[in-house]
Amino acid sequence: MKTTNFILALVLLLSASVLSAQKVEVITESSSITWLGKKIGGQHEGNIQIESGNLEFMDDKIAKGNIVIDMTTITNTDLKDEGYNQKLVGHLKSDDFFGVEKYPKAGFVITGSSAFEDGVASVTGDITIKGKTERIIFDVMRAGNIYTAKVDIDRSKFDVRYGSNSFFDNLGDKAINDIFTLNIKLVTN
């Protein structure tokens, strides 16, 4: 009888932990990523689209997640001259930067987070750009079913070399900062 009660209690405990996990899908049409890259004397910004994504919650933490970014959708929003705009976008898509022909997708796999306190949690995960993966940690803000984050990425860790002082000497005012910023907004169902 004790063995039966123990097994029943174990099954109930395991069932309760499975039931407390909640998986939600990212609504890509309502979600967004904007990027900002800086150089000496200027900056450029634009958008990039999320192809798909999901988050899995456990005990008010993001236990897992997966975000796929469509690198072919890079746009520029600050250059009004169409010729210069397309020249920059073409350069960003080239092998000098993100090599989107060979690497059309980038991704972020969430491996865990702290519990949300006052709407903020620290998220840990692995970001993959140009086939290279690095661990990153950043804060996520939650307001209902909307999750926002500002994430600084060091492009030199992903072999994005063009204009980088990490790879080239004597660039002077032609240098482009290694750190670029992503402002992310995920809307979930």
Q: How far from 113 is each of 11, 65, 109, 189, CA to CA, in Å?
A: 27, 10, 12, 20
Strand partners, 25: 54
Residue 70: the pLDDT is 98
DSSP-assigned letters across all residues of 90-128: HHHHSTTTT-TTT--EEEEEEEEEPPPBTTEEEEEEEEE
Residue 4: the pLDDT is 59
Q: Cα 131–102–91 angle (5° rounding)?
A: 105
CA distance 44 to 27: 27
Tell me the whole-structure pTM to 2 decimals: 0.85
Cα 123 to chain centroid distance, Å, stands at 11
Strand partners, 188: 26
CA distance 175 to 71: 23
Q: Cα 132–33–79 angle (5° rounding)?
A: 100
Residue 133: the pLDDT is 98
CA distance 34 to 76: 10
Residuewise pLDDT in 10s, the chain (189 residues): 666 555 655 555 555 545 568 999 999 999 999 999 999 889 999 999 999 999 999 999 999 999 999 999 999 999 999 999 999 999 999 999 999 999 999 999 999 999 999 999 999 999 999 999 999 999 999 999 999 999 999 999 999 988 877 788 877 777 889 999 999 999 999
Residue 12: the pLDDT is 53
Domains defined for the chain, CATH in brackets: 22-187 (2.40.128.110)
Residue 103: the pLDDT is 98
